[in-house]
Structure 1
Amino acid sequence: MSEPVLDLRLVAAAVLAWAAAATAVAHPAPARAALLAGAAAVALTGAVLLVTRRGARPLLVLVAVTLVLASVVLHQARAAQGGTADLAADRVAVSATGVVRSDPRPVPPPRAGGPPRVVVEVSVSGLRACGRTLSLAAPVTVFADADGWSRVRLGQRVGFRGRLGPAAAGERAVAVVSATGRPVVLAAPAAPYRGAERLREGLRRAVEPQPADARGLLPGLVVGDTSRLPADLEEAMRAVGLTHLTAVSGANTTLVAGLLVLAASWLGFGRRARLAVAAVGLAGFVVLARPDPSVLRAAVMGAVGLTGLAAGRPVRGVPVLATAVLALLVADPWLAREFGFVLSVLATAALVLLGSPFARRLEGLGLPRAVALALAVPVAAQAVCGPVLVLLQPSVNPVSVPANVLVAPAVAPATVLGLAATLLAPLSPTAATWAAWPAGLCAGWIALVARAAARLPVAVAVPAGAAGAVVVLILTALLLGAGAALLRSRRAGSRPRRWLALALALVLSGAGLVRCAPRWGGPSGPWPPPDWLVVGCDVGQGDAVVLRSGPTAGVLVDAGPDDVLVDGCLDRLGLDRLDAVVLTHFHADHVGGLAGALRGREVGAVLVSPLAVQPTAARVERLTAEAGAAVAVVSAGRRGSAGTVTWTALGPPARVAGATAPDSSQVNDSSVALLADVGGVRVLLTGDLERDGQRRALAEVPAGTTVDVVKVAHHGSANQFPGLYTRLRPRVAVVEVGEVNDYGHPAASTLELLAATGTRVLRTDTGGDVALAGSPAALRTLVRGSDPAQAARRARYGDG
Structure 2
Amino acid sequence: MICWTSPASEAASLSNSENSRRSRIVLPRQDFRLVPLACCALVGTWVGIGQIGKGFIWGSGLVVAGAALALLAIVVRVPRLWIVVHGAILVASVGVGICQVAVAHPSALVTVSGQASRLIIDGTVTSRPHPSLTPWGETQCSANVSVARFVGEGQTAQYPHTKVAIVSLPCGVIPGQNVRIEGRPIETEPRQEVAFRMVPHETQVSGTGRASERIVAKIDDGMGQVLDGAPQHAQGLIPGVALGDDSRVSSVLADAMKLTGLTHLIAVSGGHISIVIAITLAIVGRRHSAIAASLCAVALVGLVLLVGPHPSVIRAVGMSVVLLAAMSVGRGTGAVPALCIAIIATSWVFPYIAMGYGFWLSAAATAGIVTVGSPLAEMLAVWMPRGLAEAIAIPLAAQLACVPILMLFSEEGSVWAVAANALVAPVVAPLTIAGLIVALAAPLPLASLALIPATMATWWIDVVARSFAAAPGSGIPLLWSGVVCFAMLAALVAFRGAMLAARVAVALGCWWAWTFVVGRPAGAPEDWAAIQCDVGQGSALIARNEAGATIMMDVGPEGPSAARCLSSAGIRELDLLILSHAHSDHIGGLPEVMSEVDIAEVWLSPNPDPADNTEWVERQLDASGIPYRSVRAGETFQNFLEILWPITPNQREGEANAQSLAAYIDVSGGLLVLSDMTADSQERLAPHIGHVPIVIMAHHGSADQSSQLAANASPDFTFISVGENSYGHPAPAALDLYSDSQVFDTLTCGPIAITAEGNIESRCDETP
Common fold by TM > 0.5: yes
Matches of 1:519 and 1:324, distance apart in 2 = 28
- How far did residue 142 of structure 1 move? 3.0
Farther off after superposition, 335-344 or 226-235: 226-235
Which of these two proteins has the greater Rg computed from alpha carbons?
1
- How far did residue 310 of structure 1 move? 1.1
Contact conserved, 1:563 with 1:593, CA < 8 A, in 2? no
Aligned match of 2:40: 16
Q: Is the counterpart of residue 485 in structure 1 residue 494 in structure 2? A: yes
Give ranges in structure 2 of 5+ residues lacking alignment: 1-24, 503-512, 699-704, 723-729
Identity %: 25
Within 5 A, what are the aligned runs for 1:32-431? 56-81=81-106, 83-107=108-132, 109=134, 113=136, 115-145=138-168, 149-184=170-205, 186-265=206-285, 270-365=288-383, 367-425=384-442, 429-431=444-446
Matches of 1:713 and 1:444, distance apart in 2 = 41
Matches of 2:154 and 2:418, distance apart in 1 = 59
Matches of 1:527 and 1:152, distance apart in 2 = 45
Render the CA deviation track for 1:405-426: whole Å, top value 9, x for unaligned: 111111112222332343333x
Within 5 A, what are the aligned runs for 1:295-694? 295-365=313-383, 367-425=384-442, 429-459=444-474, 461-462=476-477, 468=479, 476-488=485-497, 521=521, 527-529=524-526, 532-537=528-533, 545-548=541-544, 554-557=550-553, 569-575=565-571, 577-582=573-578, 593-596=586-589, 600-601=593-594, 603-607=599-603, 615=609, 623-624=617-618, 626-628=620-622, 629-634=627-632, 636=634, 645-646=638-639, 656=648
SS in 1 for 2:143: strand
Contact conserved, 1:138 with 1:173, CA < 8 A, in 2? no
Render the CA deviation track for 1:720-749: whole Å, top value 9, x for unaligned: 799999xxxxxx976444683445568679
- How far did residue 249 of structure 1 move? 0.8
Instruction: Give 1:64's aligned amino acid.
Output: I
Contact conserved, 1:691 with 1:721, CA < 8 A, in 2? no
Taking structure 1 as the reference length, the TM-score comes to 0.73
Give ranges in structure 1 of 5+ residues lacking alignment: 493-498, 503-512, 699-706, 726-731, 752-760, 774-778, 789-800
SS in 1 for 2:189: coil
Render the CA deviation track for 1:127-160: whole Å, top value 9, x for unaligned: 2223433211244453444xx5222223433332
Contact conserved, 1:31 with 1:73, CA < 8 A, in 2? no
| CA spacing shift, 1:210–1:400, aligned 2, 3 Å | same
Instruction: Give 1:217's aligned amino acid.
Output: L
CA RMSD of aligned residues (A): 4.9
SS in 1 for 2:544: strand
Instruction: Give 2:260's aligned amino acid.
Output: V
Aligned match of 2:507: none
Farther off after superposition, 210-219 or 251-260: 210-219
Aligned match of 1:510: none
Contact conserved, 2:643 with 2:663, CA < 8 A, in 1? yes
- How far did residue 11 of structure 1 move? 1.5
Contact conserved, 1:141 with 1:175, CA < 8 A, in 2? yes
Matches of 2:198 and 2:220, distance apart in 1 = 28
Matches of 2:651 and 2:403, distance apart in 1 = 55
Render the CA deviation track for 1:275-317: whole Å, top value 9, x for unaligned: 2111111111111111101111111211111111112222211
SS in 1 for 2:193: coil
Instruction: Give 2:210's aligned amino acid.
Output: A
Contact conserved, 1:582 with 1:606, CA < 8 A, in 2? yes
Contact conserved, 1:540 with 1:737, CA < 8 A, in 2? no
SS in 1 for 2:314: helix
| CA spacing shift, 1:183–1:144, aligned 2, 3 Å | farther
Render the CA deviation track for 1:189-229: whole Å, top value 9, x for unaligned: 22222223333433343444532212321222111122322
Matches of 1:517 and 1:58, distance apart in 2 = 28
Aligned match of 2:757: 780
Contact conserved, 2:695 with 2:717, CA < 8 A, in 1? yes
Render the CA deviation track for 1:668-711: whole Å, top value 9, x for unaligned: 9x9776686x8xx996768689799687689xxxxxxxx9x965
SS in 1 for 2:330: coil
Contact conserved, 1:10 with 1:322, CA < 8 A, in 2? yes
Aligned match of 1:702: none
| CA spacing shift, 1:624–1:549, aligned 2, 3 Å | farther
Contact conserved, 2:122 with 2:150, CA < 8 A, in 1? yes
Aligned match of 1:728: none
- How far did residue 598 of structure 1 move? 7.0
Taking structure 2 as the reference length, the TM-score comes to 0.76
Instruction: Give 1:376's aligned amino acid.
Output: A
SS in 2 for 1:627: helix
Instruction: Give 1:377's aligned amino acid.
Output: I
Instruction: Give 2:269's aligned amino acid.
Output: S
- How far did residue 627 of structure 1 move? 2.0
| CA spacing shift, 1:208–1:104, aligned 2, 3 Å | same
Matches of 1:20 and 1:237, distance apart in 2 = 33
Matches of 1:244 and 1:57, distance apart in 2 = 36
Render the CA deviation track for 1:614-642: whole Å, top value 9, x for unaligned: 74799657734642333244554x66x5x
Contact conserved, 2:186 with 2:198, CA < 8 A, in 1? yes
Contact conserved, 1:390 with 1:396, CA < 8 A, in 2? no
Question: How many aligned positions are there?
Answer: 690
Contact conserved, 1:673 with 1:697, CA < 8 A, in 2? no
